[in-house]
Structure 1
Amino acid sequence: MANHARKRRREPFNVDVKQVEIYEDLASEQDEIRLKAAQALISQFTPDQNPSDEQIRKVLQRLFRGLCSSRKAARVGFSIALTELLAQIFTTTTPTTRQDSPSEELSITKTLDIWESQSSASGSESGQEQRDHHFGRLFGAEALIKSSVLFQQGAPFDQWVRVLTLVYELAKKKPWIREECGWILYRAVHDLAAHKADVKFVNAILEQLGTADLARTPEGVSIWLAAREMFPQAALPAKVWKYDDPLDAREKTALAKIMKESSAAEEEKGSKSSGVWNSKLHFAWDVVLARVSNAQKSKDKSGASRLTFVDFWTEAVDNGLFASASSEERKYWGFLLFVKILADGPPLQASSVFTKNLVRCLTNQLAVEDRYLHRMAVKAAKSIQTRVSKEPEFAAAAVKGLMGSSGAVNFDQVTKTKTVEKIMAEANRDALQQILPFFESLVANPGTEDSKAAASTRMFLAGLLLSIVRARAASKDTKDKASKEESKEKEEDYQDVLQQILFIFVRFAYFKPLSDDKSAPRPALTEATQELFRSRINSCLNSLIANEKYAAVVPYAVVRKIRDAAKSEEYGKFIIDMGEVIRDSVKTAFKSLKKLSGMENDGVTGVDAFKLLYSMTILQVYNGDSDAVSMLEELEFCYTKILSAGDSKEKKKDKKDKKKKKEKEKESDTQDAGDASDALVEILLSFASKQSQLFRRMSEQVFSAFADQVTANGLESFISILEAKESLAGQQEMFEEQDEEGDEDMMDVDDDDNELDSDVEVDSDVEVIDDDDDDDEDDEEEEEEEEEDAEEMAAFEAKLAAALGTHRADQDLQAESEASDSDADMNDEEMEQLDAALGQVFRARQQVLDKRDEKKDARETMINFKNRVLDLLEIYVKKCHSKLLALDLLLPLLRLARLSSAKHVAGKANALLREYTKLCKGAAIPSLTASESGADHSSAVWELLRSVHKEARHSGPAAHASACSQASLLLVKVLVAHDKTALGQVVDVYADTRKAQLLSMKCHVQPSFFTDWNNWCVSASKQK
């Protein structure tokens, strides 16, 4: 009770609700609310409001106390309001109204008294409350400095010194707040420069910097550099730096230790560490980095050597933060600096940050997800990609930095990322021209003497080069005309780059260095690696020939480079052994290629297609394909008859005599052109038969140019493949000579990146036919195969049991036991006989398995071949659907759709028939009167119609029945368009089919066949 009685009695007072709301809003998390509250508060103390000193004192007291709030937003809001209020109070009044004298109620001195008293921690508070008071003092000092009231005219200088003293004391007393204190003083130098204040204010900062023993700290370096730059006449502390300049090249070691705040730095005189790690970069890094020279070597006015960025980065960051003994926290700072320079640094700086220790740390941290700095390393890697996407020419520096002497050649492999690959996808022409020679040098010298490691690295580099080609080949022109012109220009520029990549492959794929060649690869390339490089050439061309611009030019450049290098021995000895006959064939082919190149602007049809075909065939010769030599001879015949003959006819047009002779020549030329077309079809089928997407694409492009010249014999070549059996017998019939090594050359050897590097195409189901009958047939086939397997296994077990003299386990266990007992008594001779018998049994079993595999491979080969033929026929149908000859495809396609054992082949045949019948409409319907020979083919079409109806009677999938109906109606349109009276005979054909449906159990024609016919009749009668 006594203690309670001694408490001061509270006096009644009125609460200003509006004022309370303003202070509450100053602590709001939202910027807009805080700014409005600050504006409302300041408006109450404008000169026209004529506030009293007491009112001002109270609001200052309240604001200084608010800075000590634990709410972070409160410090920001109250600091803004305080800064503006101080500036308004002490700059908008006359000097006489705010004289700094003891008799005044309010002055700068009294204001500082309020600040010091409100932010003073008595020692009885909790740890958090003390921290809040320290921050309140710091924010108060910042508000006083920003308001500029301390260094305006008439302000007492000793109060400026007072503020500095309190800030420096706080920095020394509490290391965890030292960076913030240093930042305020650093910004104070800028504020003084902006207000053109007297140098004595800066001298006061520098003097206390020395006396506080903080000059050799990151904060001290920042203040030093700012003061020297903005106040050259300032009195810098003596004996702090040996050469009186932290940026002197000779001070780099000391500066590096200070910047990383290491314990070693504390051993230096005057060096202090904050002792607290911060996840954010110290502001001193920005200050120093902005002032180090970007030049290789630099000197100041006095001739002293200046610290360059490269030297500073190497010493302070690479050898400092990323040293092997550095903590994870310091490496984290290093990554922050790396990301910062890549984001904002000039090109020269950004190109210099890929230093040895940094890249090693980046590689290690990226490689393992559970590493402490993995996420930071991922961010660093993405920052490289971001810089390249904004500045494509930076790709060269990035790739060299990651894969050069400071990094790892197989960076992407080690880190399990696609960092380098993505960088190169964004690289422009200039960057690629720097990267490619670098890659070529890495292929020649991977940096290891181990042949296996070198092969792995070379494989990785080959994959990167291929990715560049694919990225550039896939680029498409935009719709905008201006963009088209720009894109065209870029493509022309990239053609040299693409050819340069292929020339690198050529060097290492086809040549063996001479014994005295100093530039020879170390270690030497293995045969497998050279084979890989040849495969990569095919993969590159596979992507490039899809682009019309590169389809004819680049393959020609490749084979010409191989020929020229073989002659000059630029890369060494040509590894392909070619006889005199082969060389002569290749030489003749190059002569034709040269002529074709001269026809480019003459508008001769198929020139580019022939250039592509010649180039790819020559490349096959260089790859050791024996069949390619005979193909060159056939190709020469095609070229002579199709292009040369046509060109010579144009030249003979001016001759007016010997008319009969010209007619005979014309007939002869037509015959020769037909033979040439047939030969060309056989060549294209030879390419299409290979399990390679490259040759499939090439054959399609060439065929597209000559599809309209296909003759009946040429079309029959396609049809014979469609009608061949999908079995070993069908394969033997189709391919007279087996070439077991042809397709293997195209197989990819890179298991880790099969999709990227292989152009071998494996067909997948493109259409599933839902039909019960078809499913039943598949089930029956599977059951038959299972029964056959069971029979073979039973036969094998029986032979094995006979050889052992035992029984199967499920037949006679007792006999087996007796046999086992007798085995123990077998002598050596009997054991040898048993071994021989067992060997014979297992050899027979292996032969059965090999035969089964051979049958399976043959089936897959035939299915793949039919797929390729259907792709070519799709081109033919699109270009020649209105030709009468195209009708010959109807029946083979229908049979294929019904009989093929592969659903996707049957589906593709049906789809092709649908496409064909859709295209044949109106004027595009084949005409019997427009036959090239002038002969009447109506009887053949009638026979074809009856054959289609017979095909419709077979049991098959629903899609097959629909295709038969469409084919039949197409033939009806052809016949009726030729002769209107043919409609009656068509009705008779349909009637015969209907009769067979009613009377024959073997007729399985579907009802939809007649429904479609009825619908067509209704439509035809309306048109009539």
Structure 2
Amino acid sequence: MGFKRRRELYNVDTKLVEIYEDLASEKDEIRLKAAQGLISQFTPDKEPTDEQIKKTLQRLFRGLCSSRKAARIGFSVALTELLTQIFSVKREDAEFQFADVLKIWESLSHSAGSESGQEQRDHHFGRLFGAEALIKSGVLFLPVTPFTQWTQVLDLLFELAQKKPWLREECGWVLYRCVYDLSARQMEAKYLEAAIERLCSYDLARSPEGIAVWLAAKDMFPKAEFPAKVWKHDDPLDTKERNSLSKIMKESSAEEADGQKSSKSSGVWNSKLHFAWDAVLSRTSDGSSKSSKSSKSGRLSFLDFWTEVVDNGLFASASSEERKFWGFLLFNKVLNEGSPQQASQVFTKNLVRCLMNQLAVEDRYLHRMAVKTSKAMQARVSKDPSFAAPAVKGLMGTGGAVLFDQVTKTKTVEKIVGDASPDALKEIVPLFEQLISKPGAGDDKTAAADRQFIAGLLLSIVRAKAATGNGDSEEDFESVLEQILFIFVRFAYFTDKNASMAAEPAISEATQEMLRNRVSSSLNSLLSSQKYASTIPYAVVKQIRDGAKSGEFGKFIINIDDKLQDSVKTAFKSLKKLSSKEKKGEASSMAAFKLLYSMTVLQVYNGDADAVSMLDELELCYTQFLGDEASKKNKKKDKDTSDASDALVEILLSFASKQSQLFRRMSEQVFGAFADQITENGLESLISILEAKESLAGQQEMFDQDDDDDVEEDEGSGSDEDMMDVDGEEDSDVEVIEAGDAEGSDSDSDEEEEEEDDEEDAAEVAAFEAKLAAALGTHRADQDLNANDSEEDSDMDDDEMEQVDAQLANVFRARRDAVSQQKDKKDAKSNMVNFKNRVLDLLEIFVKKSHSRLLTLDLLLPLLRLTRRSTVKQIANKANSVLREYTKLCKGSAVPKIVDDEDEDEDSEERVDAIWELLRSIHKEAGHSGPPAHATAVSQASLLVVKVLVAHDKSLVAGAVDVYGETRKDMLLSTKSHVQPSFFTDWNNWCVSASKQLKN
């Protein structure tokens, strides 16, 4: 019977196995911890044996040849530290010396040629990482280390770089960093000279790596001896080497003119920039004192380098897409890291042209890189707003295109100017002014497009800066904003007076109209910022007046008669007084009047015929509201102030009727300043608009239009053309609210309206065809099918033909009139919807400012009726919103008082009677059928009126109970009553909450 042999146990150091495993970890902290654990086993106090050191080094060198995870990195760190720790002390008596380390490295990283391709690559990388570890350890530079061992490492490293061009950059990087290491260790120049000598002997001096190493060596060891006739004046950046430098940096292998050859191309394209670009860029001059010294010695300046090597090299028309990719990487690098002077010089002709071409088409090879470049420019401007000036000049100047954003279908320039600093804008705005005057276009159409684009950019600056302020720079921004608007004024209202200032080609009337629209759009944006609301509009009209008076900008294109001129002159006198009062810090009403005056004068300059009468009315308002002390002591002060208030409301309504955000915003700001002074007549003017029909008849009633034949365009409709931009861009401040497309409109009602319109259109078409058939004596193919087919047509004589022609003319004239009338109806409805929207905006301001006034109760019934009657849901919702805001504000002591605390009112009984009548009217309104929002609004309005009565006299609650009782009775007995249950539920809830207060 045989026995099984017992298996022998081997002594395996599990801890060491774990260390080697962790050295290959992809996590930095694990690798570093493993390296520390390994090195701790070889400290002098542990007295490691030569065998242990040899085995460990063999294991580490083998690890460098491994492609597993992050083994090369981890083993390289451990090897570097281990070599430093072991050979930094004397080992004269030890058998294992540093020469043996070199033998292990050379043998284990040697590729015999019989391995697979991957194994060969691993060995090459093992040699590269091994050389790096040996150099970083510093053992090669110890006094006890023979100099020949340094040259041995250099030879192996250069052989690898020459044999495997795809590893040449990594080998060059190791040597490049070694130059700085040698300088830090203060080594003798012979170490560097040996490296430079081999750099030349292996034909690598005229390569990107060679240039980088040479430049570093020149900086770190200026007294070392360098091989002659490699570079002119021993400097790769010498001005006479620019052509060679360009070819070398873009890795061209073509033979150079002087017979010298550049090194062979690496043959592998890398998506990352070669480290040599950093070395070169950091050593080119950019205009500093150091640069001046470089320039005297013949070294390339940054601009010369960029133009020759990058623009004419990488971005040459014949360059490959890969080299242009490097060019974009360099461009982004300078944008992110370069000095302001360098960054301002990189917008060269070929680069900008390539950027435009790549941005314009999405399927271009470098489109994504171009987009990244565009974002890099914007990021630089965000970080350094002053960079906006050189960026805009570069993109739109000599090397770029005026229509850069349009050509590239981006908003690059627009975003850049939006982030620009005041100082940058002071350079950009004059450039834009020059481009508007002389865009460089050969024909009028192209010039108009260029001017329109530039005007859009100027408007984008206004919009970006209108609501922003950077503390101390707010005044600078205001001066820039004024400058932009003055540019618009110069070209919109004047023709150049002499040949030197004349625009080329001449500015068309359409462009001038567009520029006037830009003035309005700019002011619309500026009015959103209170700090610019009164200053800049006044500055604009003052600039127009001064320009017309002085002739500085040429002939004023607006014709103003003597009478109108007198009104304008009077308006400016008032504006001057308002400005002086505003500077003294007087009431906000000064700023409001100043704004209103400025905008009215602007309307005069824009040729608005109604603006003349508005100026006269404004003068009345100004005299009564803000006139001198003598006027204020007048006995008729109250009546005059009331008349002035009513006139002011009419003026604001005339502005509000225009379909323009600018006039809407202006009217709201001015109305807000005087809302607490609005009288009963003024409020009635607003209410009358709410009660007008949303139709052609309503429009005729509002604007005193007597018959259809004399219907003129509504002010709002006319404003649409006046304010609409020529190009139809989104920068128009026109607000067009279609009756059927209003926000929040009910889909069912929209469908019903469309069906009605379709039926009307069908009826009109049928009637037209019938009239046409009657005139021609024919019928449609699908009609009169049983007619006698044998009946033959007879020829008509000339008289009969003339009669037919006259009948046809009448038919088509009637058809044209019908179509025109239908269009007028739709336009009128749109205008009335817009007008009501604007009035509701004003009323919302009014209830916020004057909710405590008893007068505000007059709004309840009109708002309730509008909520119920309006065919446009947006209007109904907005009316309900104003009413809800009003009732929300009237809480506690904010409830309107019938009698003021300050004085006794003899008419209190009449007021109480009027409020009782209002309550009964509201309850009558509650009986009408309406949308759900109407029922809620009626209940809120009723309770508000009850609160007003009870606040005046608690005993009046009994009367309120009676009114609610009558309404309950109507709901039960009348079939016409549609009071909702919630109406009484809200009343019951209020009674419960108010009972305690009423009993006290």
Q: TM-score range with shorter-chain normalisation?
A: over 0.9
> What is the Cα deviation at residue 1009 of structure 1?
2.9
Which amino acid in the other structure matches residue 493 of structure 2? Y
Contact 1:293 1:308 in 2 (8 A): yes
Deviations 1:389-418 (A, max 9, x none): 111111111111111111121211111112
Q: Which residue of 2 aligns with 1:19?
A: 16
Secondary structure of 1:306's match? Answer: coil
- In 2, Cα distance between equivalents of 1:522 and 1:894: 60
Contact 2:621 2:647 in 1 (8 A): yes
Find the aligned partners of 2:135 and 2:722 in 1 and give their Cα distance.
75
1:17/1:1015 Cα in 2 relative to 1: closer, same or farther (>3 Å)? closer
Mapped to 1, the partners of 2:125 and 2:757 lie a distance apart of 85
704, 723, 726: which one aligns with 1:736 = 704
Q: How does 1:119-138 map to 2 (within 5 A)?
A: 119-138=109-128
Equivalent AA in structure 1 for residue 580 of structure 2: G
Residues in 2 aligned to 1:675 and 1:599: alpha-carbon distance in whole angstroms: 23
Structure 2 CA distance for partners of 1:536 and 1:44, relative to 1, 3 Å: same
What residue is the counterpart of 2:688 in the other structure?
720
The two structures have a TM-score, normalised by structure 2, of 0.93
Superposition deviation, residue 732 in structure 1: 0.9
Kept in 2: contact 1:769–1:957 (CA 8 A): no
Q: Partner residue of 1:480?
A: none
State the Cα distance separating 1:748 from its structure 2 match. 3.1
Q: Which residue of 2 aligns with 1:239?
A: 229
Could you tell me how far apart the structure 1 residues matched to 2:414 and 2:955 are?
A: 69
1:151-170 maps to which residues of 2 (within 5 A)? 151-170=141-160
Out of 179, 182, 186, the position equivalent to 2:176 is 186
Question: 1:546 corresponds to which residue?
Answer: 528
Q: Amino acid of the residue matched to residue 1005 of structure 1?
A: V
Aligned to 2:828: 858
Unaligned stretches of 5+ residues in structure 2: 1-7, 706-711
Question: Residue 807 of structure 1 aligns to which amino acid in structure 2?
Answer: H
1:895 and 2:891 aligned: no
Give 1:977 shift: 3.3
1:941 pairs with 915, 940, 946, which one? Answer: 915
Change (3 A) 1:964 1:15: closer
**For the residues of structure 2 that align with 1:176 and 1:780, how far apart are their CA atoms?**
75
Q: Name the structure 2 match of 1:1014.
A: 988
The amino acid of 2:733's aligned partner reads S
How far, CA to CA, are the matches of 2:759 and 2:449 in structure 1?
A: 46
Query: Would you say the 8 A contact 1:199–1:234 is kept in 2?
Result: yes
Secondary structure in structure 1 of the residue aligned to 2:899: coil
Identify if the C-alpha distance between structure 1 residues 198 and 991 changes in structure 2 by more than 3 Å, giving closer, same or farther.
closer
Q: Is the 8 A contact 1:542 1:693 kept in 2?
A: yes
2:482 maps to a residue whose letter is: Q
What's the offset of the Cα at 1:753? 3.4
Q: Which of 620, 642, 662 is equivalent to 2:625?
A: 642
Per-residue displacement from partner, 1:820-863 (whole Å, max 9, x unpaired)?
A: x849x678887776555444323322211111110111111112
Give the Cα–Cα distance (whole angstroms) in 1 for the partners of residues 882 and 826 of structure 2: 27
User: Residue 997 in 1 paired to residue 971 in 2?
Assistant: yes
1:263 is paired with a residue whose SS is: coil
Structure 1 window deviating more from structure 2 (629-638 vs 185-194): it is 185-194
Structure 2 residue 211 is matched with structure 1 residue 228: no
Counterpart CA distance in 2 for 1:359 and 1:51 is 64
Q: 1:561 matched to which residue of 2?
A: 543
Q: Deviations over 1:164-212 (max 9, x none)?
A: 1122222222211111121122222111111111111111111112222
Per mean C-alpha deviation after superposition, the further-off stretch among 983-992 and 153-162 is: 983-992
Tell me the residue number matched to 1:52.
49
Hey, what does 2:729 align to over in structure 1?
753
- What residue identity is the alignment partner of 2:456? G
CA deviations on 1:852-889 (whole Å, 9 max, x unpaired) are 11011111111211111111111111222222222222
The equivalent residue for 2:4 is none
Taking a change above 3 Å as real, the CA distance of residues 966 and 178 of structure 1, as seen in their structure-2 partners, is: closer
Contact 2:890-2:896 at 8 Å conserved across structures: yes
| Paired residues of 1:621 and 1:629 also in contact (CA < 8 A) | yes
Is the CA contact 2:212–2:276 (under 8 Å) kept in the aligned structure 1? yes
Q: Work out the CA distance in 2 between the residues paired with 1:411 and 1:778.
A: 43
Provide the rounded CA distance (Å) in 1 between the counterparts of 2:141 and 2:585.
85
Structure 1 contact 952–961 (Cα < 8 Å) conserved: yes
- Distance of 2:952 and 2:477 partners within structure 1: 54
**Distance in 2 between the 1:467 and 1:163 partners?**
62
- SS of the aligned residue for 2:139 comes to coil
User: Given residue 262 of structure 2, which amino acid in structure 1 is its aligned partner?
Assistant: S
Whole-Å separation in 2 of the counterparts to 1:260 and 1:49: 53
Moved more, 62-71 or 342-351: 62-71
Q: Confirm whether residue 498 of structure 1 aligns to residue 488 of structure 2.
A: no
Q: 1:890 to 1:58 in 2, by over 3 A?
A: closer
Q: Is the 8 A contact 1:750 1:757 kept in 2?
A: no
Q: 1:376 to 1:932 in 2, by over 3 A?
A: farther
Evaluate the alpha carbon distance shift between residue 152 and residue 332 of structure 1 in structure 2; reply closer, same or farther with a 3 A threshold: same
Q: AA paired with 1:544? A: L
* Runs of at least 5 residues in structure 1 that lack an aligned partner in the other structure: 1-10, 99-104, 477-486, 651-661
The total of aligned residue pairs comes to 974
1:680 maps to 2:648: yes
Letter in 1 for 2:871: S
Q: How does 1:391-430 map to 2 (within 5 A)?
A: 391-430=384-423
Shift of 1:61: 2.4
Checking the alignment, whether the CA contact within 8 Å between 2:385 and 2:424 is kept in structure 1 is yes
C-alpha contact (below 8 Å) 2:32/2:74 kept by paired residues: yes
Question: TM-score, with normalisation over the residues of structure 1?
Answer: 0.90
* CA deviation map 1:75-126 (0-9, x unaligned): 21222122122222221225x335xxxxxx3223222222211111112122
Are 2:873 and 1:908 aligned?
A: no
In the other structure, the counterpart of 2:209 is 219
Tell me by how many angstroms 1:921 deviates: 2.9
Q: Indicate if the aligned counterparts of 2:64 and 2:125 stay in contact, CA closer than 8 A.
A: yes
- The letter of the residue matching 2:88 is T
Question: Shift in Å at residue 308 of structure 1?
Answer: 0.6
In the alignment, structure 1 residue 805 sits paired with structure 2 residue 768: no
Q: What is the CA distance between 1:626 and its match in structure 2? A: 0.7
Structure 2: distance between partners of 1:302 and 1:345: 19
Q: Answer yes or no: is the 8 Å Cα contact 2:158–2:202 preserved in 1.
A: yes
Instruction: State yes or no: 1:208 paired with 2:190.
Output: no
Q: Which residue of 2 aligns with 1:968?
A: 942
Give the aligned partner of residue 693 of structure 1: 661
Once residues 892 and 164 of structure 1 are traced to their aligned partners in structure 2, the CA distance between those partners, rounded to angstroms, is 96
What CA distance in whole angstroms lies between the structure 2 residues aligned with 1:456 and 1:407?
16
| Contact map agreement 1:767 1:908 (CA 8 A) in 2 | no
Using the TM superposition, give the Cα deviation of residue 816 of structure 1 relative to its aligned residue in structure 2, in angstroms. 9.7
Matched, 1:623 2:606: yes
Say which SS state the counterpart of residue 875 (structure 1) adopts.
Answer: helix
Counterpart of 1:795?
767
| 1:518 aligned counterpart, secondary structure | coil
Separation in 1, partners of 2:770, 2:239 = 90
Q: How many percent identity over aligned positions?
A: 66
1:392–1:427 Cα contact (<8 Å) kept: yes
Q: For 1:779 and 1:209, how far apart are their aligned partners in 2?
A: 84
CA offsets 1:636-672 (integer angstroms, 9 cap, x no match): 1110111105x4467xxxxxxxxxxx6xx33x11111
Distance 1:50-1:1011 versus aligned 2 partners, 3 A rule: closer
Residue from 712, 728, 737 that aligns with 1:762 = 737
Q: Is the 8 A contact 2:737 2:833 kept in 1?
A: no
What is the identity, as a one-letter code, of the residue corresponding to 2:154? L
SS at match of 2:476: helix
Q: What is the Cα-based RMSD across aligned positions, in Å? A: 2.6
Q: Secondary structure at the match of 2:668?
A: helix
Distance 1:17 1:778 in 2: 82
Q: CA deviation at 1:281?
A: 1.0
Q: Which amino acid aligns with 1:329?
A: E
- Paired position in structure 1 for 2:931: 957
Structure 2 distance, partners of 1:1021, 1:70, is 87
| 2:275 is aligned with 1:283 | yes
Please say if residues 578 and 594 of structure 2, whose CA atoms lie closer than 8 Å, have aligned partners that are also in contact: yes
Report whether the alignment pairs 1:253 with 2:236: no
Residue number among 286, 307, 312 corresponding to 1:294 in the alignment: 286
Give a deviation string over 1:508-546, Cα, whole Å, max 9, x none.
1111112x2312222222111111111111111111112
Amino acid at match of 2:932: A
The whole-number CA distance in structure 2 between the counterparts of 1:1016 and 1:460 is 61
